[in-house]
């Protein structure tokens, strides 16, 4: 049977993994896809670099757009990365030609999803991106197909392995953020420029994609994003004592007024929740629906093997004739703004660094009371000489009340340094 001919751009870890996987499992993949899948054209930054795979029978192109213009390919695989430049040019060129595209590029889909969706629909060219979210975990297929019957209440989870590794290490070793980050960089778990991961942007890109499939596309610039730099080893200890773990979560919920509540931030999750047991570089996606109930899937969120597995699964879907609209529905609505967090009620964890003298706890809790924030639990812990940590858990309160209270607390002379406020995400099972 005629092979499905792939033009691939980007021969980093994932690109090489895709070629290796297609060759190693060729027989199985042919049986499942109904036809062979072969990479026939490639491009990358360096033609001469030895990548450990034989490319002598593969056409070389000098740039990504020219791969997308190759008349002898059936599908484009984009593994360059980045929301602009050659990645975007290549995908747009391919879709315009009516060629199906498979990409692992979360930033591209999160930021330019609407324009690409239009191109995909106009030219009847599928755009698949299973590898863009949670690596080897088929999270997109889960939501777009496996749970297509249900109108989910929520979708999200632990979407960045670097942050989860750092938080796990901080908790189990008691070391602080900077220390663990440096080690993660040395081990290759974190980039030299770690901002995309630790400031939450990678999680935000993935969450925007999940929300787009579960609900409708969201305007990325309205998504509140907060990373893990402010979380200290002390916070992880206090959370532990309270029966919680701290996880960087990206969550999206259908709110009552038919808007979408979405955010990325470190949260306290119950130690008993399925997601709390997801440690190290693992990712997890969790959904909650009126019919399907709670579902959690966990696995490796990055790396050569898992990401290649997701890219090739998309290729097999295409070979099998899959032809789904980008977000699972024809006539995708325009992106909506995320609802403002101010009115949303939640319990919160607040950690304050204060002068260690009598009456401080009473002073601080009275400020909270003045802002209608009622305290469920407070504990005091030794810090540096003459200083103490207060770890508070509030009852449910609107987030804007918490923000106002924190501003007032920060202005008090007894409060040293910036308070840390983390949402308590009690509803996860």
Binding region for its own copies (CB under 8 A): 17, 21, 25, 28-29, 31-34, 130, 136-138, 141-142, 145-151, 274, 277-278, 289-300, 303, 305-306, 308-313, 315-317, 320-321, 323-324, 328-331
Any catalytic annotation for residue 206? yes
Q: How far is the CB of 278 from its own copies (least distance, A)?
A: 8
User: 113, 121 in Cβ contact below 8 A?
Assistant: no
343 is in an annotated binding site: no
Q: How far is the CB of 292 from its own copies (least distance, A)?
A: 4
**Minimum CB distance to its own copies smaller for 130 or for 353:** 130
**Minimum CB distance to its own copies smaller for 323 or for 355:** 323
Half-sphere exposure of 20 (CA within 13 A, CB side): 16
Task: Report d(CA 79, CA 129) in Å as an integer.
Answer: 11
DSSP 8-state class, residue 417: E
**Closest to 191 in 3D by CA, of 168, 236, 160:** 160
**Minimum CB distance to its own copies smaller for 311 or for 364:** 311
DSSP lists the bridge partners of residue 347 as: 424
**Minimum CB distance to its own copies smaller for 330 or for 411:** 330
| Cα 106 from chain centroid (whole Å) | 9
**Minimum CB distance to its own copies smaller for 291 or for 362:** 291
Task: Report d(CA 307, CA 121) in Å as an integer.
Answer: 26
355 is in an annotated binding site: no
Phi then psi for residue 329, to 5 deg, are -135, 145
Determine how many CB atoms are found less than 10 A away from the CB of residue 191: 14
Q: How far is the CB of 335 from its own copies (least distance, A)?
A: 17
Q: How far is the CB of 85 from its own copies (least distance, A)?
A: 28
**Which SS3 state, helix, strand or coil, does residue 260 take?**
strand
Q: How far is the CB of 11 from its own copies (least distance, A)?
A: 17
Task: Report d(CA 139, CA 264) in Å as an integer.
Answer: 18
Active-site choice (141, 206, 247, 423): 206
**Closest to 166 in 3D by CA, of 185, 141, 147:** 185
Annotated binding site for NADPH: 106
Which residues carry a binding-site annotation?
106, 191
- Annotated binding-site residue numbers for L-homoserine: 191
Residues tagged active-site? 206
């Amino acid at each position: 049977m005629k092979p499905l001919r792939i033009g691939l751009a980007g021969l980093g870890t994932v690109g090489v993994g895709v070629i290796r996987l297609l060759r190693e499992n060729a027989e199985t993949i042919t049986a499942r896809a109904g036809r062979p899948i072969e990479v026939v054209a490639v491009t990358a930054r360096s033609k001469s670099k030895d990548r450990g795979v034989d490319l002598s029978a593969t056409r070389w192109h000098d740039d990504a757009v020219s791969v997308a213009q190759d008349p002898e390919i059936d599908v484009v695989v984009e593994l360059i990365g980045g929301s602009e430049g050659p990645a975007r040019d290549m995908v747009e060129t391919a879709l315009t030609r009516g060629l199906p595209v498979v990409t692992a590029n979360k930033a591209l889909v999160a930021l330019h999803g609407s324009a690409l969706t239009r191109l995909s629909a106009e030219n009847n060219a599928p755009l698949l991106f299973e590898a863009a979210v949670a690596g080897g975990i088929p999270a997109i297929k889960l939501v777009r197909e496996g749970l297509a019957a249900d109108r989910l209440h929520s979708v999200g989870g632990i979407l960045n392995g670097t942050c989860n590794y750092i938080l796990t290490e901080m908790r189990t070793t008691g070391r602080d953020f900077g220390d663990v980050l440096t080690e993660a960089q040395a081990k290759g778990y974190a980039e030299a420029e770690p901002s995309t991961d630790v400031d939450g942007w990678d999680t935000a890109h993935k969450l925007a994609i999940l929300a787009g499939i579960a609900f409708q596309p969201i305007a990325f610039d309205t998504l509140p994003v907060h990373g893990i730099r402010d979380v200290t080893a002390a916070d992880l200890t206090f959370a532990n004592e309270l029966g919680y773990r701290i996880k960087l979560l990206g969550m999206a919920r259908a709110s009552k007024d038919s808007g979408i509540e979405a955010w990325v931030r470190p949260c306290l999750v119950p130690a008993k929740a399925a997601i709390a047991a997801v440690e190290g570089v693992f990712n997890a996606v969790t959904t909650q629906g009126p019919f399907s109930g709670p579902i959690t899937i966990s696995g490796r969120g990055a790396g050569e093997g898992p990401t290649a597995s997701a890219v090739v699964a998309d290729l097999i879907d295409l070979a099998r004739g899959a032809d789904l609209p980008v977000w699972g529905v024809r006539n995708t609505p325009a992106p909506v703004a995320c609802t403002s967090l101010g009115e949303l009620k939640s319990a919160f964890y607040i950690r304050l660094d204060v002068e260690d003298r009598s009456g401080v706890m009473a002073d601080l809790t009275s400020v909270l009371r003045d802002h209608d924030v009622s305290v469920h639990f407070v504990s005091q812990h030794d810090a540096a000489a003459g200083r103490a940590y207060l770890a508070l858990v509030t009852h449910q309160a609107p987030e804007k009340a918490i923000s106002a209270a924190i501003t007032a607390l920060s202005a008090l002379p007894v409060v040293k340094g910036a308070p840390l406020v983390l949402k308590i995400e009690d509803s996860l099972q």
